[in-house]
A = this chain, B = another copy of it.
Amino acid sequence: MDIQLDCLPCFVKQTLSVLRMVDADEAEKERILRRVLEQLSHIDFAQSPPQLAQDIHAQIRQLADNPDPYAVHKRRDQELALRLYPPVEQQVRDSEQPFYAAVQMAIAGNSLDHGVYHDLSEEQALALLEQGLVTPVQGDLAAFQREVERARSILYLGDNAGEIVFDRLLLQQLPREKVTYVVRGGPIINDAQLQDAREAGIDRLVATLMDNGDDSPGTVLSRCSAGFREKFHNADLIIAKGQGNYETLSDEPGNIVFLLKAKCPVVATHIGCDLGASLLYRRSGR
């Protein structure tokens, strides 16, 4: 999915959002913002938004001399998710259709996103999760369940810190020995990395836990490691969480099921769904 004109205000907003997290004075922040605006004036629209986000954030990290501006937020989101998790797991276990409930909550976990909701409070997070429990997922869940049962190998592409805790619910419904769970290869926005996945207990629920070797807030195949690309091309079924993975993989081959909340108008329009919809989405004709 290519960058749209409507993505631009969001890039500027996200820049300001990062600038609030770094230790820099107003003059320094102004200098960084000017650099980003200048960069935006030259961008190639024929790339996905996460590719550009990767470059912008790399520049901000360098200019602000801060390797991981979202560290504190990720920490908070992980702790929050781990605290909110147990009763949710119980509810899924008690559900009449645990597989469906697990999909539903794995998508609801995608609400915990500082990249989109710039200042998410604990109350708002809880409200989003509770909403998730009663929000129907659009998409063919029965077909997805059949496919999970048939697949010889499943590649599960994670998304954000915090959110990944709720991926446990769906992972518990998958055949452990066939699943590889993948996180980003470096700090980018609030996206999950290996230590977050381990903290969430993901490593105990899958055959392989790995990173993709790249720090885009999505999955830019050409920038990922050869090892990851091989896994990607050989997977029977790819489960891709979140907007970033959708934006970067919507035009790639592969048997991909996207699980996401459509949080931004550009993505919702591209998919053809309502803003805020919870989706199990498979591209037509595949």
Chain A contacts to B: CB under 8 angstroms: 5-6, 8-10, 12-13, 16, 19, 26, 29-30, 33-35, 37-38, 40-42, 45
> From A14, which residue of chain B is reached at the shortest CB distance?
B9
Shortest distance from the beta carbon of A5 to any chain B beta carbon, whole Å: 6
Q: Smallest Cβ distance from A254 to chain B, in angstroms? A: 29
A30 B13 Cβ-Cβ under 8 A: no
Number of copies of chain A assembled together: 2
| A23 CB, nearest partner CB in chain B, Å | 16
Residues of B within 8 A of A34 (CB): 41-42
Chain B contacts of A26 at CB under 8 A? Answer: 5
Q: Closest residue of chain B to A33, judged by CB?
A: B5
Q: Which residues of chain B come closer than 8 Å to A45, judged between CB atoms?
A: 30
User: Whose C-beta in chain B lies nearest to the C-beta of A40?
Assistant: B37
- A9/B12 contact (C-beta < 8 A), A38-B41, A41-B34 known: yes
CB distance from A171 to the nearest CB of B (A): 37
Of the A-B pairs whose beta carbons lie under 8 Å apart in the complex, a sample of 26, sorted by A's number, is A5-B16, A5-B19, A5-B26, A5-B29, A5-B30, A5-B33, A6-B16, A8-B12, A8-B16, A8-B37, A9-B9, A9-B10, A9-B12, A9-B13, A9-B16, A12-B12, A30-B45, A34-B41, A34-B42, A35-B41, A37-B37, A37-B38, A37-B40, A38-B38, A38-B41, A41-B41
